[in-house]
Structure 1
Amino acid sequence: MSAKPFAFPIKVIPSDIDFMGHVNNARYLNWVQDTVLAHWQKLAPAEEVASKAWVALKHEITYRKPAFLHDDVIAETVLEKIKGARSFYNTVIKRGEEVLAEVQSMWCCLDSETHRPARISSEVAEKFFGLKTRQPSCGE
């Protein structure tokens, strides 16, 4: 039940480059976070964006090829599923058709005021997956 991919352009800047002349591995995590948050901000209603915050619970990164200064890089993320307050994303970072990194991540949605886990409503999930909320039938 994946949502449509969301593309996020990335500008490689001099501070991204490490002593080996390519983008530092840790920078990829920032790119994933920027991409996932931009996806949320684009599709979620304004009141949800204002009342919710996200924290990463887990990232699994497979590095394929290095990125360099001035590369045209794009991150494509797909929300795979929502389970309670958790959201599961797959993000692929590319330079053209070359895959630079693949990232599976799990995020927890929090209430901005209480910092407690907050479930994503079915109405908000519909915005990401394009599904209609299933209405219970008689007797359910």
Structure 2
Amino acid sequence: MGHVNNSVYLRWVQDAVVDYWQSVAPKEAVARHLWVAMKHEITYLKPSFLQDVVVADVVAEKVEGARAFFTTVVKRGEEVVSEIRSCWCCLDATSLRPVRLARDIAARFVGD
């Protein structure tokens, strides 16, 4: 049908969440942690196409242990085309095992 599929939306969300993390977390925390998507729930409101210019706005809802929950709203101009709720797991960049964020980092992360 010509519109983007789930994989494109998930790439947009992944890029937006990682950019969000890198913009609010200290450089040391960014270097020590990786994020892996655990769950995405996409609500499609309007079709979107590859040639569309879209913007993804990310809101960190909460952090629980090694998990973080986000809502990402994808817009084409002022028009909302989709809303994505996602859950991510924080990993230690060296061991690749789940790790809790320090409280001060989590507060900064969600407190944006």
Q: TM-score over 0.5 for the alignment? A: yes
Instruction: Report the CA distance between 1:122 and its aligned residue.
Output: 1.2
What corresponds to 1:117 in structure 2? 98
Instruction: Report the CA distance between 1:45 and its aligned residue.
Output: 0.8
- State the percentage of identical aligned residues: 57
Number of equivalences: 112
Provide Cα deviations, 1:61-89, integer angstroms capped at 9, x if missing partner.
11111112432211011000000110000
* Corresponding residue SS for 1:61: strand
Unpaired runs of 5+ residues, structure 2, are none
CA gap 1:130/1:90 in 2 versus in 1, 3 angstroms: closer
What is the aligned-residue RMSD (CA, Å)?
1.5
Structure 2 contact 63–110 (Cα < 8 Å) conserved: no
User: Is structure 2 residue 27 aligned with structure 1 residue 49?
Assistant: no
Q: Counterpart of 1:50 in structure 2: which amino acid?
A: A
Instruction: Report the CA distance between 1:46 and its aligned residue.
Output: 0.8
In structure 2, how many angstroms separate the alpha carbons of the residues matched to 1:125 and 1:101? 26
What corresponds to 1:32 in structure 2? 13
Q: Which has the larger radius of gyration?
A: 1
User: Is structure 2 residue 70 aligned with structure 1 residue 84?
Assistant: no
User: Is structure 2 residue 4 aligned with structure 1 residue 23?
Assistant: yes
Q: TM-score, normalised by structure 2?
A: 0.92
Q: Counterpart of 1:35 in structure 2: which amino acid?
A: A
